[in-house]
Amino acid sequence: MPVMAELRARLAELADLSALGGLAGWDQRVMMPPEGATARANQLATLDRVSHELASADEIGEWLEELEGSELDEIDRDIVRVARRDFERQRSVPADLVGERAQAAAAGQATWQTARANADFAAFAPALARNVELARTYAACFKDAARPYDALLDDFDYGVATERIEAIFARLAEGLRPLIAGVGRQPERRAVPVGIPIEAQRAAVGATLRRLGVSEDSWRVDVSAHPFSEAVSRRDTRVTTRYESGSLESLLGALHEFGHALYERQIAPDLERTNLGRGTSMTIHESQSKLWENHVAYNRAFAPVLAEELGRGGHAIEPDALYAELAQVRPSLIRVSADQVTYPLHIILRFELELALIEGGLDVNDLPAAWNDDMRRLLGVEVPDDAAGVLQDIHWSAGLFGYFPSYAMGCLIAAQLWQQIEADLGSQDEALRVAEVGAIREWLAEHVHKYGRRLDTEPLVERATGRGIDVAPFLAHAARVVGG
Amino acid sequence: MPVMAELRARLAELADLSALGGLAGWDQRVMMPPEGATARANQLATLDRVSHELASADEIGEWLEELEGSELDEIDRDIVRVARRDFERQRSVPADLVGERAQAAAAGQATWQTARANADFAAFAPALARNVELARTYAACFKDAARPYDALLDDFDYGVATERIEAIFARLAEGLRPLIAGVGRQPERRAVPVGIPIEAQRAAVGATLRRLGVSEDSWRVDVSAHPFSEAVSRRDTRVTTRYESGSLESLLGALHEFGHALYERQIAPDLERTNLGRGTSMTIHESQSKLWENHVAYNRAFAPVLAEELGRGGHAIEPDALYAELAQVRPSLIRVSADQVTYPLHIILRFELELALIEGGLDVNDLPAAWNDDMRRLLGVEVPDDAAGVLQDIHWSAGLFGYFPSYAMGCLIAAQLWQQIEADLGSQDEALRVAEVGAIREWLAEHVHKYGRRLDTEPLVERATGRGIDVAPFLAHAARVVGG
């Protein structure tokens, strides 16, 4: 077999194993009977180990060396370039450390669940300290990284530097300050209490997704405690949402997950089963979910569609009342239920704290006080206890440092892409009022999705919008939301 | 790591990968959106290839050599013995031949589906001939097999020789002949037409399985076109059934699959994630499904339970009427809907024909005539066309030769085990009338299930019943059914 074919065959195997892992993870959260958990953890650990061995085997290094000197077409060049990057990163980390991190993450999550239930940070601190220490050790494995946090970021958002995020977040915080100050003094704007029964939500989720293009031929829509989506393959897409009585989160969550899912489906078919055939970064992924959440689901022009489908599901509501509910802005304690304007401030807080934990010498024991100070400073909110404060998110307990920034970067890029869509295609208001999103889907396929991993985060934004990541479109969007 | 630990670690990996393959297969048949099929086939082929490489790697041979000379406890001795067997079998077959068989099986199934729809055997004959030829080539890889069909049998039922099956089936056919001759002349015995609506079936399937011990903590019950069960792990058991209006197949199928599933759940926990931690053969597996189908679901004493649960589901039926329906015996064309008495004759026919294809020089083109002759001879039934005859089963199109005997051997062993259960525990009639099957479950765990692969088919039967496989208990059961 020619060397390029050998490399492609290995990458196809790795893509298949990764898809099987995704499927097993989906099953675990959606279908698996609870007592299957221990065996499933073993099965997933085995799959990880086998994949890691196949991905870091010596022969890949030999293939790459041979290929880097030879004439290749454009796609194969990108395959080899990204394979080299992945291979070097795999080989930089000792297998023992990977195992230790996995164990510390599992133990951390278990400890965190109890600690959060008891609002008892002290019980969680040792497990967190262990995760921080291992993340530092892990970061130190990457000799080329300019600073430790860069190495962590690279796992989620390759090539985006800590300095770049610091600069962007500084401008974002500054721009949001006057907006937040304004809403803080506004009266409660809630128009009507939206006590939407679950059956109406369920009908509206199904019908709205169908109008956006979801069909049973190649999609599933299920329920999970923590909504997510899984691309088992290009034509086997699974989104989940959750239903709580009275809430609109099921609809917002469904459209958010639809955005993630659509990205994976619209990657160029010739990248399938290569190392380029998936979303390029957590940040770009989050920009896709946030685009459908912030700029479609939350859009005043889309409210008639949601209201219509809720009505068909048995819950009559006026589009204006629905929009008033969605457009509320109010600084709050909990990230996952924050409104679209204050949401990025929750992320900035986490970014600053985790950066200080990894690089700045912030002691784990000082974290709750630092959290509470920052909540006061950034959002003007008093934290009543650690369960509603520093213990609210699972990420740090699972050793995930460098992940949070993508949530806010995604919001910014979503706004920037949406601005570009309307610049290229004209206002989408008329189209949204009747849920005609074909043009939006095609624009995203052509300017964002098709590239897969061929372009990293900021080069992709530049290709799509003609400029680097910019906070102005998000701030303009936020000002419109707050302005009413 | 000590060598035994290395071997065990590898076997645990193989068990995990096999479980993931089982999960992906379950998903494919129960959950997957249809357009996911092509990618899923790739994913499963990759998993097979990776597993095959891990199972046949040189180091296993070295570990086994070292271990075969060393002192081991009882379980480790069995692990090494069965690992040697599996390793030798894996290494006997060239990887190319494995691939060719998989391709011929896929092509054969596709051709068969069209040929069956058109009742056109000639269109299927070349694909079947290819599968026969490859099965012969495959059999020839095993130099120790006394005859080719033995080598094929070993894949499904290790250690059971062709001669043994011939002898057993000869006695079985002879014993069934007078019984069948009798029912052939009886009038139609159907007591009432059982037009059971699907909703009542669904309620009865769920409730009956719950009474047998199925709970949501560690089971799922779903729907699939071709009922099957999957043991994703000891505490993650998935059974499926299908619903057709008016039919009792959903209930019979559910109990059949429950039998398969219970077997895997009751294997000794210390065999989990070893090469011994699954059912020992297709024949013993089928004995477990047939035990719950023929001796529980079809049992006159169990009819009140089924009638009660159908009644709760909204379909009132008398236990006697239900039993009369279940106890019908009538020679028929189609294996999968045959009654419990004539069923093994369908298997004997297939066994004789596939043995002649593999060893006896029967030409594929002469197969339909041979089939029709045998149906006349064994069951007294005229075959109207090949769709209802030689084309009815998928097995041969998929290259499965040596598999069919397990269906009838399972019926025989089920009857023999049931006889032993009632000899050891007394009549189960009272217990069945109230669905108290705890004692039956425990007896099976202790005498059959716990061994996993530590005992092969006939030694296991001997251990459980004190004698080898015997046709008398099945014939006695059949005579009772026919006698009414």
Do B57 and B166 share a domain, yes or no?
no
Rounded (10°) angle between helices B148-156 and B405-425: 50
Tell me: pLDDT of A116 over 50. yes
B218/A33 touch (CB, cutoff 8 Å), yes or no:
yes
Do B85 and B228 share a domain, yes or no?
no
> φ, ψ for residue A365 (rounded to 5)?
-70, -20
Closest CA to B471 of B349, B356, B345, B380: B345
Q: Which residues of A touch B237 (CB under 8 A)?
A: 33
Do B126 and B73 share a domain, yes or no?
no
Q: What is the pLDDT along chain B (484 residues), one digit of tens a residue?
A: 899 999 999 999 999 999 999 999 999 999 999 999 999 999 999 999 999 999 999 999 999 999 998 999 999 999 999 999 999 999 999 988 998 999 999 999 999 999 999 999 999 999 999 999 999 999 999 999 999 999 999 999 999 999 999 999 999 999 999 999 878 655 554 545 568 999 999 999 999 999 999 999 999 999 998 899 999 999 999 999 999 888 889 999 999 999 999 999 999 999 999 999 999 999 999 999 999 999 999 999 999 999 999 999 999 999 999 999 899 899 999 999 899 999 999 999 999 999 999 998 899 999 999 999 999 999 999 999 999 999 999 999 999 999 999 999 999 999 999 999 999 999 999 999 999 999 999 999 999 999 999 999 999 999 999 999 999 999 999 999 998 7
Q: Which residues of A touch B217 (CB under 8 A)?
A: 33-35
Computed from CA positions of residues A345, A349, A354, A355, in that sequence, does the dihedral angle turn out positive or negative? positive
Classify residue A296: in a domain, yes or no.
yes
Interface test with B, best of A50, A218, A222, A223 (most B CBs within 10 A): A50
From B17, B45, B236, residue closest to A36, measured CB to CB? B236
Residue of B nearest to A30 (CA): B31
Q: Which of A65, A244, A257, A309 is catalytic?
A: A257
A43/B16 touch (CB, cutoff 8 Å), yes or no:
yes
A451 pLDDT band, cuts 50/70/90, is: very high
- The answer to pTM > 0.80 is yes
Query: Which residues form the domain of A157?
Result: 143-484
Query: Do B35 and A236 contact (CB within 8 A), yes or no?
Result: yes
| B22–chain A nearest CA distance, Å | 11
Classify residue B240: in a domain, yes or no.
yes
Q: Which residues of A touch B218 (CB under 8 A)?
A: 33-36
| B132–chain A nearest CA distance, Å | 30
Two tokens at A454? 């061929």
Buried b (16+ CB within 10 A) or exposed e, A308-333: bbbbebebebebebbbbbbbbbbbeb
Do A147 and A24 share a domain, yes or no?
no
Q: Which residues of A touch B219 (CB under 8 A)?
A: 33
| A293–chain B nearest CA distance, Å | 25
Mean pLDDT of A279-303: 98
Q: How many CB atoms lie within 10 A of CB A215?
A: 10
Residue found by looking up tokens 């002879």 in the block: B174
Classify residue B311: in a domain, yes or no.
yes
* Residues sharing a CB contact under 8 Å with residue A336, sequence separation 6 or more, in sequence order: none
| A377–chain B nearest CA distance, Å | 46
* Residues sharing a CB contact under 8 Å with residue A210, sequence separation 6 or more, in sequence order: none
From A13, A33, A220, residue closest to B220, measured CB to CB? A33
> What's the confidence (pLDDT) of residue A191?
46
B236/A20 touch (CB, cutoff 8 Å), yes or no:
no
Do B132 and B64 share a domain, yes or no?
no
Query: Do B104 and B131 contact (CB within 8 A), yes or no?
Result: yes
Do B168 and B300 share a domain, yes or no?
yes
A181 pLDDT band, cuts 50/70/90, is: confident
B219/A39 touch (CB, cutoff 8 Å), yes or no:
no
How many angstroms separate the CA atoms of B265 and B39, rounded? 31
Task: Please give the distance of CA A337 from its chain centroid, rounded to a whole number.
Answer: 15
How many angstroms separate the CA atoms of A281 and A269, rounded? 19
Residue-wise pLDDT for A416-440, tens only, equals 999 999 999 999 999 999 999 999 9
Task: Please give the distance of CA A15 from its chain centroid, rounded to a whole number.
Answer: 20
Residue of A nearest to B33 (CA): A218
- Strand order across the beta sheet in which B236-241 lies: B219-223, B236-241, B229-233
Amino acid at residue number A59: E
Q: Which residues of A touch B272 (CB under 8 A)?
A: 39
How many angstroms separate the CA atoms of A304 and A320, rounded? 8
Classify residue B271: in a domain, yes or no.
yes
Of A32, A60, A92, at which residue does a domain stop?
A: A92
A484 pLDDT band, cuts 50/70/90, is: confident
Interface test with A, best of B18, B30, B42 (most A CBs within 10 A): B42
A183 pLDDT band, cuts 50/70/90, is: confident
A39/B236 touch (CB, cutoff 8 Å), yes or no:
yes
Q: Which residues of B touch A52 (CB under 8 A)?
A: none
From B40, B220, B233, residue closest to A31, measured CB to CB? B220
**Mean of the per-residue pLDDT values of chain A:** 95
Do A38 and A160 share a domain, yes or no?
no
Q: Which residues of A touch B221 (CB under 8 A)?
A: none
* Contacts by A441-448, CB closer than 8 A, 24 or more apart: A441/A213, A441/A262, A441/A266, A444/A262, A444/A263, A444/A266, A444/A288, A444/A291, A444/A417, A445/A266, A447/A417, A447/A420, A448/A263, A448/A284, A448/A287, A448/A288, A448/A417
Do B29 and B127 share a domain, yes or no?
no
Distances (CA, A) of B219 to A444, B140, B239, B415: 42, 41, 8, 27
Based on DSSP, count helices (H) and strands (E) in chain A, helices before strands. 20, 3
Interface residues on B facing A, Cβ-Cβ cutoff 8 A:
12-13, 16-17, 19-20, 23-24, 27, 31-36, 38-40, 42-43, 45-47, 49-50, 54, 216-220, 232-237, 272-273
Q: What is the DSSP letter of A313?
A: T
CATH (domain of B186): 1.10.1370.30
Classify residue A449: in a domain, yes or no.
yes
Size of interface A-B (CB pairs under 8 A): 119
Do B72 and B191 share a domain, yes or no?
no
Classify residue B100: in a domain, yes or no.
no
A237 sits in which H/E element? strand A236-241
| B223–chain A nearest CA distance, Å | 14
Do A149 and A274 share a domain, yes or no?
yes
Q: How many CB atoms lie within 10 A of CB A195?
A: 10
B36/A219 touch (CB, cutoff 8 Å), yes or no:
no
| B15–chain A nearest CA distance, Å | 8
A20/B20 touch (CB, cutoff 8 Å), yes or no:
yes
3-class DSSP string for A114-167: HHHHCCCHHHHHHHHHHHHHHHHHHHHCCCCCCCHHHHHHHHHCCCCCHHHHHH
Do B155 and B87 share a domain, yes or no?
no
A31/B36 touch (CB, cutoff 8 Å), yes or no:
no
From A24, A46, A218, residue closest to B13, measured CB to CB? A46
Closest CA to A315 of A304, A307, A323, A305: A307
Total tally of structural domains belonging to chain B: 2
B47/A20 touch (CB, cutoff 8 Å), yes or no:
yes
Of A28, A62, A92, at which residue does a domain stop?
A: A92
Query: Do A391 and A116 contact (CB within 8 A), yes or no?
Result: yes
Do A77 and A169 share a domain, yes or no?
no
Interface test with A, best of B235, B236, B237 (most A CBs within 10 A): B236
Query: Do B355 and B149 contact (CB within 8 A), yes or no?
Result: yes
Classify residue A23: in a domain, yes or no.
yes
> What's the confidence (pLDDT) of residue B438?
98
Q: How many CB atoms lie within 10 A of CB B443?
A: 20
Closest CA to A236 of A443, A451, A22: A22
How many angstroms separate the CA atoms of B472 and B120, rounded? 40
Residue found by looking up tokens 């059999």 in the block: B139
User: SS3 for B425?
Assistant: helix
Classify residue A105: in a domain, yes or no.
no
